[in-house]
C-alpha cells in the first residue's frame, strides 16, 4: 500500500507542477510580452508595493470575464464562483498577443495587479 501512496503522491505533485503559469517559462509562446508588463503607478501606490512587474510577483489568472451588467466600463472576473470587479487602476487598453483578456494576480496576496482588455471581444 505504501508504494501505491508514493506513486499517487508523485503523480499529484507532477500534476500540480504542470499547471504553473506559462509566462515564467522561457520556452512558452509570448514569454517576453508577459515579462515586460508593469503595473500602473496608481495601482502600485494603492497596493503599497515597491516593485512594478506584473509577472515577477504575479501569475496569469485563467478565468472568465465580463463587462458590468449595466454595460458600463466596469470589468469583472470569476473567482471562487463569484464575480469580482477588476480595479480600474489596473486596466490597460494595450493589446495582448492572443487578443484575449489577461489578468495578473499576486501569487501571495491574491491582489489584482494588471488587466489587459481584450481587443478581439469576449
Q: Is residue 14 part of a domain?
A: yes
* Residue 78 domain flag: yes
Distance CA(40)–CA(88), nearest Å, equals: 10
Residue 122 domain-assigned (yes or no): no
C-alpha cell at 32: 517576453
Whether 24 is covered by a domain: the verdict is yes
**With 60 as the cut, is the pLDDT of residue 114 above it?**
yes
106 in a structural domain: yes
pTM listed for this prediction: 0.74
Residue-number span of the structural domain to which 10 is assigned: 2-116
Confidence class of residue 21 from pLDDT cuts 50, 70 and 90? Answer: very low
In the chain, which residue ranges form alpha helices assigned H by DSSP?
A: 2-18, 31-36, 41-47
* 40-115-50-110 Cα dihedral, nearest 10 degrees: 150
Q: What is the pLDDT of residue 4?
A: 41
Q: Which grid cell sits at 86?
A: 477588476
- Is residue 32, in this structure, part of any structural domain at all? yes
| pLDDT tens track for 85-99 | 999 999 998 889 988
Domain count, the chain: 1
Q: How far is CA 104 from the centre of its chain?
A: 3
Nearest to 37 by CA among 107, 97, 118: 97
> For residue 121, is it within any domain?
no
Q: Cell numbers of 8, please?
A: 499517487
CB atoms within 10 A of CB 74: 14
Amino acid at each position: 500500500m505504501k508504494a501505491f501512496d508514493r506513486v499517487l503522491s508523485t503523480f499529484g505533485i507532477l500534476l500540480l507542477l504542470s499547471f504553473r503559469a506559462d509566462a515564467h517559462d522561457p520556452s512558452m509562446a509570448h514569454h517576453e510580452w508577459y515579462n515586460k508588463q508593469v503595473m500602473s503607478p496608481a495601482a502600485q501606490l494603492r497596493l503599497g508595493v515597491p516593485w512594478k512587474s506584473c509577472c515577477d510577483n504575479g501569475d496569469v489568472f485563467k478565468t472568465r470575464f465580463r463587462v458590468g451588467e449595466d454595460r458600463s466600463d466596469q470589468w469583472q472576473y470569476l473567482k471562487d464562483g463569484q464575480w469580482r470587479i477588476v480595479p480600474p487602476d489596473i486596466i490597460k487598453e494595450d493589446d495582448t498577443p492572443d487578443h484575449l483578456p489577461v489578468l495578473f494576480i499576486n501569487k501571495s496576496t491574491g491582489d489584482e495587479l494588471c488587466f489587459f482588455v481584450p481587443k478581439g471581444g469576449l
